[in-house]
């Protein structure tokens, strides 16, 4: 069978990169070559931005309820094609099928939610201070949105950016991660099948350099919406600042589960397993620190470690598999380096800590054993830096105050969880934990799209995705005053 060659989608037409270059897309579980995608350069990106700029002038005039109806149809199409979308995602990204279905479902939920926003997109009105005058605050679109997305949620994250942008009347250039181009392509096909006018969403493939970099340099892009590593996010912010562009960043996390001495330990084990090893630890909200009360640590680990050791590694397409591969060889090496680092820092490796060599068709896969360190001190690098793999660091504490202090003491602030049966402890944690998401008696993962998603400190730059907060990123407030007094009235001037 010949390997398929895919194309960019610009101004309603499929086209190769102008220079004809391509890059390969591989299955991280098997190494299988899935296809070739255009390695786009600056001229391809400029063409995509020009198409989006031209389409903006008509798309912004389509009534918002009609824009919403298209998104609603996208939700229906995604529902119909959910299984195919999930399977092709698992093949290129590796996450187990059940989680890939969840990824697609987040996109479906966002389509329906933002479809509904077509009939709300609420501004507001409040009383004005002068007689015979009104004031209303409206949401205007901002213009052309550049969406730069990562590989860990290949469908959900592009929908979290594109759907609020589209319902608000913006047009889009999407550059998906080079490890998961196929999922983005399938999604864009469905957008057009649902009736999106040409040029409203443009898709360019390619790596960070040159493709992503070229998108940052476009003067006709009005907003950059980025999800990815802290290092790249900082660079995106600097480039956006140079050109005075709006920028929304979703970056790393160093999320913790706190287990207090009165916790339901069986419940906690389930939440820890899911949050730390689900998606092979490659979620922004994955738990990579376990902050546990000294009184229950031994008992908790006695339950947790055998469960970790019985997690089945393998191809995510196999329904019996619990943990899929790591996305690529570079990331696998990074995870393994952190194991060496943890040992060098003096932490105790309890289980895992090695590349897993599976047999047969999985011999070429990027698998890593679920890993657990104890004796981790808060200042160690394995307790501070985002590893983005199946590695969990156990930090021992003696009080709630200490647990909260350790939890808050990282440069990130995305998600935290606390297991306790004590209402007072839960309330104190709610007040004092400084992350954007807090779970009480459940793990750190699992956001619902009708709520704001994002975090404090180095996790972002203060914006939130999803919910109504997501619309704030993609709209400009415009205030319209109407004075029907028939005379000059001066606001805020004493006469």
Candidate list 284, 287, 369, 386, residue with the active-site label:
284
250 classed as catalytic: yes
Catalytic residue among 99, 250, 369, 465: 250
Q: Which is nearer to ligand ADP, 57 or 231 (CB)?
A: 231
Task: Assess 232 for contact with ligand ADP (CB under 6 A).
Answer: yes
Q: How far is the CB of 447 from ligand ADP (least distance, A)?
A: 18
Q: Which stretch binds ligand ADP (CB under 6 A): 65-73, 173-181, 286-294, 421-429?
A: 173-181
Per-residue H/E/C for the chain: CCCCECCEEECCEEECCCCCCEEEEECCCCCCEEEEEECCCHHHHHHHHHHHHHHHHHHCCCCHHHHHHHHHHHHHHHHHCHHHHHHHHHHHHCCCHHHHHHHHHHHHHHHHHHHHHCCCCCCEECCCCCCCEEEEEEEEECCEEEEECCCCCCCHHHHHHHHHHHHCCCEEEEECCCCCHHHHHHHHHHHHHCCCCCCCEEECCCCHHHHHHHHHCCCCCCEEEEECCHHHHHHHHHHHHHCCCEEEEECCCCEEEEECCCCCHHHHHHHHHHHHHHHHHCCCCCEEEEEEEHHHHHHHHHHHHHHHHCCCECCCCCCCCCECCCCCHHHHHHHHHHHHHHHHHCCEEEECCCEECCCHHHCCCCEECCEEEECCCCCCHHHHCCCCCCEEEEEEECCHHHHHHHHHCCCEECEEEEECCCHHHHHHHHHHCCCCEEEECCCCCCCCCCCCECCEECCECCCCECHHHHHHHCEEEEEEEEECCCCCCCCCCCC
Q: Does 228 contact ligand ADP by CB under 6 A?
A: yes
Closest CB to ligand ADP among residues 232, 410: 232
Please identify, using beta-carbon distances, which residue of 255 and 407 lies nearer to ligand ADP.
255
Nearer to ligand ADP, 141 or 206 (CB): 206
Q: Does 208 bind ligand ADP (CB under 6 A)?
A: yes
Binds ligand ADP (CB under 6 A): choice among 32, 213, 432, 483: 213
Q: Is 210 in the site for ligand ADP (CB under 6 A)?
A: no
Among the listed ranges 82-90, 164-172, 209-217, 450-458, the one in contact with ligand ADP (CB under 6 A) is 209-217
Using CB under 6 A, pick the residue from 129, 209, 320, 379 that binds ligand ADP: 209
Query: Cβ of residue 88: shortest distance to ligand ADP, in angstroms?
Result: 18
The 130-169 contact track toward ligand ADP, x by CB under 6 A, reads ------------------xxx-------------------
Binding residue count for ligand ADP, defined by CB under 6 A: 16
Q: Which of 79, 229, 396, 422 binds ligand ADP (CB under 6 A)?
A: 229
Is 284 an annotated catalytic residue?
yes
Residues catalogued as catalytic: 250, 284
Which spans of this chain sit near ligand ADP (rule: CB under 6 A)?
148-150, 175, 177-178, 207-209, 212-213, 216, 228-229, 232, 235
């Amino acid at each position: 069978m010949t390997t398929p060659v895919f194309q960019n989608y610009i101004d309603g037409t499929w086209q190769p990169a102008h220079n004809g270059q391509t890059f390969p897309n591989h299955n991280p579980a098997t190494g299988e070559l899935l296809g070739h995608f255009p390695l786009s350069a600056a001229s391809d990106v400029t063409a995509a931005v020009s198409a989006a700029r031209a389409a903006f002038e008509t798309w912004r005039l389509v009534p918002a309820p009609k824009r919403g109806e298209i998104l609603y149809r996208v939700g229906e199409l995604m529902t119909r094609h959910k299984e195919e979308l999930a399977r092709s995602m698992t093949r290129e990204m590796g996450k187990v099928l059940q989680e890939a279905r969840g990824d697609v479902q987040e996109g479906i939920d966002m389509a329906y939610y933002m479809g509904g926003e077509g009939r709300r997109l609420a501004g507001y009105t409040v009383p004005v201070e002068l007689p015979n005058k009104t004031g209303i605050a409206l949401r205007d679109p901002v213009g052309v949105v550049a969406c730069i997305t990562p590989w860990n949620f290949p469908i959900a994250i592009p929908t979290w950016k594109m759907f609020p942008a589209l319902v608000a009347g913006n047009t889009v250039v999407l550059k998906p991660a080079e490890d998961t181009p196929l999922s983005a392509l399938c999604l864009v096909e469905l957008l057009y099948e649902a009736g999106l006018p040409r040029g409203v969403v443009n898709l360019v493939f390619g790596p960070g350099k040159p493709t992503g970099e070229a998108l940052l340099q476009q003067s006709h892009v009005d907003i950059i919406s980025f999800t990815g590593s802290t290092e790249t996010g900082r660079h995106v912010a600097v480039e956006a600042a140079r050109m005075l562009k709006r920028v929304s960043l979703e970056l790393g996390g160093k999320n913790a589960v706190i287990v207090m001495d009165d916790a339901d330990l069986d419940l906690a084990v389930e939440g820890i397993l899911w949050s730390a090893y689900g998606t092979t630890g490659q979620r922004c909200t994955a738990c990579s620190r376990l902050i546990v009360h000294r009184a229950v640590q031994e008992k908790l680990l006695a339950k947790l470690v055998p469960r970790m050791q019985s997690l089945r590694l393998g191809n995510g397409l196999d329904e019996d598999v619990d943990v899929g591969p790591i996305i690529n060889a570079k990331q696998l090496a990074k995870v393994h380096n952190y194991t060496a680092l943890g040992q060098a820092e003096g932490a105790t490796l309890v289980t895992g800590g090695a590349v897993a060599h599976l047999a047969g068709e999985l011999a070429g896969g990027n698998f890593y054993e679920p890993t657990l360190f104890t004796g981790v001190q808060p200042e160690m690098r394995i307790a501070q830096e985002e590893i983005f793999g199946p590695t969990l660091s156990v930090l021992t504490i003696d009080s709630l105050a200490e647990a909260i202090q350790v939890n808050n003491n990282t440069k990130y602030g995305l998600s935290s969880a606390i297991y306790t049966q004590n209402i007072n402890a839960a309330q104190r944690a709610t007040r004092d934990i400084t992350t954007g998401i807090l779970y009480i008696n459940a793990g750190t993962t699992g956001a619902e799209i009708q709520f704001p998603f994002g975090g404090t400190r180095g996790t972002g730059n203060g914006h939130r995705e999803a919910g109504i907060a997501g619309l704030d990123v993609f709209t400009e407030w415009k205030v319209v005053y109407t004075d029907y007094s028939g005379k000059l009235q001066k606001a805020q001037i004493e006469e």
